[in-house]
Amino acid sequence: MPRRPLSSRSRKVAATLGEYLVTFRKLQGLTAEQVADRAGITRTTLRRLEHGDPSVGLDVFLEVCRALGILDFVLVGMNPYETALGQALAQSMLEQKRTLPERVRQ
């Protein structure tokens, strides 16, 4: 199945995430080879992730975050109740006396 084209905004975010991973790696004094080994991936795959290649899988991103010790930060950063937007949406639902669905139906 052909891949859907990625928006320019998403491409920019992927590149920025890659830069952040490089920065975390360098701040810890780790080589790319060390991080790749700890994440169980090849150096080439890590290079692709660090350069913002959006075709690298979520599993790779998560394992690199784990290897860098930042996986919990990623999880907290995605928590909707820890963001201003999520808090505002939750407050709006409360004001409308609506509750969050137990699961989202597709």
- Could you give the CA distance from residue 106 to residue 104 in angstroms, rounded to a whole number? 7
Find, among 59, 33, 55, the residue nearest to 46 by Cα: 33
pLDDT confidence of 90, banded at 50, 70, 90? confident
- Could you give the CA distance from residue 87 to residue 80 in angstroms, rounded to a whole number? 7
> What does pLDDT average to over the chain?
90
The answer on pLDDT for 106 being more than 50 is no
Question: Which residues have C-beta within 8 Å of that of residue 66, sequence separation ≥ 6?
Answer: 39
Average pLDDT over residues 76-88: 87
Neighbours of 96 (CB within 10 A): 8
The answer on pLDDT for 29 being more than 60 is yes
Average pLDDT over residues 51-63: 97
The answer on pLDDT for 68 being more than 90 is yes
Q: What is the SS3 assignment for 48-87? A: HHHCCCCCCCHHHHHHHHHHHCCHHHHHHHHCHHHCHHHH
Sign, CA dihedral 18-24-27-32, equals negative
pLDDT at 1: 54
Percentage of the chain modeled with pLDDT above 90: 65
Domains of the chain, CATH where assigned: 8-70 (1.10.260.40)
